[in-house]
Homo-oligomer: A and B are copies of this chain.
Amino acid sequence: MKNLHKITIIGVGLIGGSFALGLKKLGLIDEIVGYGHNADNLQLAVDLNVIDSFSTDIKTAVENSDLIMLSVPLGVMQTVLRDMQPFLKADAIITDAGSAKMSVVEAVQAVFGELPSTFVPGHPIAGKEQSGVAAACEDLFKAHRVILTPTVNTDAAALQTVQSLWQALGANVQTMTPAYHDEVLAATSHLPHLLAFALVDLLNEHDELGNVFQYTAGGFRDFTRIASSDATMWRDIALYNSDAISKWLKHYQNAIGHLIELVDAKDGPALHHLFSEAKAARDEHIVKK
């Protein structure tokens, strides 16, 4: 792993804060600097020993930095990249924690006019209900999956460095292309989140039955848990992975159409087949996981 003296966390919230805190505890980095607009939040991060110091000036924050971790909302990525680009060291590694990857790759391409060899897009699949640096914890990524999505230009050393950091934090690192990442996450994460939001919204807005939430049980609570996620983050994901999400929403809409046909036809054998195949797949791939 490349020697890292100074790293910069752009956006010190739950994810950026937990990344910083874990590395600080390991003592692998001489100096961890936080950057953001909110000095109170950054001071809190210092007080919590999440970062060593902070700056609200981008030049001060990133100059001489060996690695930049972008842990800001997807909608802010391009602005931050543009602000920091003039002050980066030539060989600074740029990585991120965005939930969609093609949009970050495109933002880097737009700002740098190319894809730097030191750019290593990434996505830690971890989180919790709380957000903000106060919720940061050093083992947030432990035994969790982190997906790195090197571009065609990413060099092996930069990839190895970022991978080593995540592994030092206990994560299971896996690599794939940005496009495949976005498809897979659209199907397995973005789609169910949007479906949960849509169900709660449908029942909430439906006047016909009164407050039906009072009749819900544990199944509904679990099914809709992800509808308590942060609305701003999910708006950004829906906007910045819109192609893949739209495609999977349409696949799902067709699947619901098929289900309606089976229910209307009272086709017991086909319904039983669909339910038992789904149950078997979940029991095999999810329950046993």
With an 8 Å Cβ cutoff, the count of chain A residues facing the other chain is 88
A207 to chain B, nearest CB (A): 12
A217 to chain B, nearest CB (A): 5
Q: Is the CB of B204 within 8 A of A188?
A: no
Q: What separation, in Å, do the CA atoms of A13 and B51 have in the docked complex?
A: 57
Task: Decide if the interface of chain A is mainly helix, strand, loop or mixed.
Answer: helix
- The 8 A CB mask of A229-260 against B (1 = contact, 0 = none) is 11110110011001001100111110111011
Interfacial residues, chain A to chain B (CB-CB below 8 A): 125-126, 144-145, 147, 180, 183-185, 187-189, 191-206, 208-209, 211-217, 219-232, 234-235, 238-239, 242, 245-246, 249-253, 255-257, 259-260, 262-264, 266, 268, 271-272, 274-279, 281-283, 285-287, 289
A286 contacts across to B, CB distance below 8 A: 213, 216, 220-221, 224
A228 contacts across to B, CB distance below 8 A: 279, 282-283, 287
A204 to chain B, nearest CB (A): 4
Chosen A-B contacts, 27 in total, with CB atoms closer than 8 Å, are A144-B217, A183-B208, A187-B203, A188-B212, A191-B199, A192-B220, A192-B224, A194-B259, A194-B263, A195-B195, A200-B278, A201-B255, A201-B274, A201-B277, A203-B281, A204-B278, A205-B277, A219-B225, A223-B225, A227-B279, A231-B275, A234-B275, A239-B271, A242-B266, A245-B263, A249-B259, A252-B256
Residue of B nearest to A249 (CB): B260
Q: Is the CB of B199 within 8 A of A252?
A: yes
Q: Assess A239 versus B227: contact at CB under 8 Å? Given A215-B145, A275-B234.
A: no
Copy tally for this chain in the complex stands at 2
Q: What separation, in Å, do the CA atoms of A251 and B214 have in the docked complex?
A: 20
Q: Is the CB of A255 within 8 A of B225?
A: no
A126 contacts across to B, CB distance below 8 A: 217
Q: Is the CB of A188 within 8 A of B201?
A: no
Q: What separation, in Å, do the CA atoms of A205 and B255 have in the docked complex?
A: 11
Q: Looking at the complex, which one of B187, B193, B216, B231 makes contact with A219 (CB distance below 8 Å)?
A: B193
A246 contacts across to B, CB distance below 8 A: 260, 263-264
Q: What separation, in Å, do the CA atoms of A238 and B259 have in the docked complex?
A: 10
Q: Is the CB of A224 within 8 A of B282?
A: yes
A214 contacts across to B, CB distance below 8 A: 285, 289
A198 contacts across to B, CB distance below 8 A: 252, 255-256, 259, 274, 278
